[in-house]
Amino acid sequence: MVKQDLRCITQFLIIACLLFFGLAFHVHAQNSDMPIEQPAAEKQELIFIAPLAEAIGYSYATIAYGGGLAVGSGSGTAIGLRFLYAVDPEDFVFMEFLFFLRFYFFGAQASTGPFVQLNGGPVVYAYSSPELSGYGNISAGLNVGWRFPLGRNFFIEPSVRAGYPYIFGGGVSSGFRF
């Protein structure tokens, strides 16, 4: 029963992220006459919200797939929180709650383009079997990615990462910035 619940939750998160990506592309297609580059006075973003989908390797044997949400604030340098829920084929569950610090390469007013991001925070592991309780660890790593603007407020962000205790990860997020 627990295995089915975990799979349903994972499938729901992935489908929700894909629907959000589709909505972002649809809105961008309808607003294609809007310039991508914003005037200097409007470049400061207060907050961004981005659902994400990711594949992450916590072991050499299997890859976990999941989804989550990132919320951050800032231009040039951004800070925020990132949550990821992932399950591997052996029904091992990973839940990350990471704080991040992001630096955009294009300067203090940038909120698009290439970036590097430092991540750190707790990660909790659990088997789907109730008798095997979850346990945690401290996670730290580095993301490298690129934020592509889709119109005035939407964006898509592919990124890759490496760190501890995971080995590698890669995914995409799409979001809205205010």
**Dihedral pair phi/psi, residue 112, rounded to 5°:** -140, 170
Tokens representing 14 are: 């992935």
Q: Per-residue pLDDT for 133 more than 80? A: no
pLDDT at residue 2, as a whole number: 47
Of the candidates 92, 83, 84, which has an alpha carbon nearest to the alpha carbon of residue 59? 92
Average pLDDT over residues 31-59: 70
- Where in the chain does DSSP place strands (E)? 48-57, 64-73, 77-87, 92-104, 113-127, 135-150, 154-164, 168-177
| 1 confidence band (pLDDT: 50, 70, 90) | very low
- Domains of the chain (ranges, CATH numbers): 2-177 (2.40.160.20)
- Per-residue pLDDT of 84-131, as tens digits, reads 999 888 878 889 999 999 999 987 777 889 999 999 999 988 876 555
Q: Per-residue pLDDT for 54 more than 80? A: yes
pLDDT at residue 22, as a whole number: 52
- Which residues, 6 or more positions from 37, have their beta carbon under 8 angstroms from its beta carbon? none
**Is residue 24 packed enough to be buried (19+ CB in 10 Å), middle (13-18) or exposed (0-12)?**
buried
Average pLDDT over residues 127-148: 79
Residue found under tokens 């995914």: 171
pLDDT at residue 28, as a whole number: 45
**Dihedral pair phi/psi, residue 30, rounded to 5°:** -75, -25
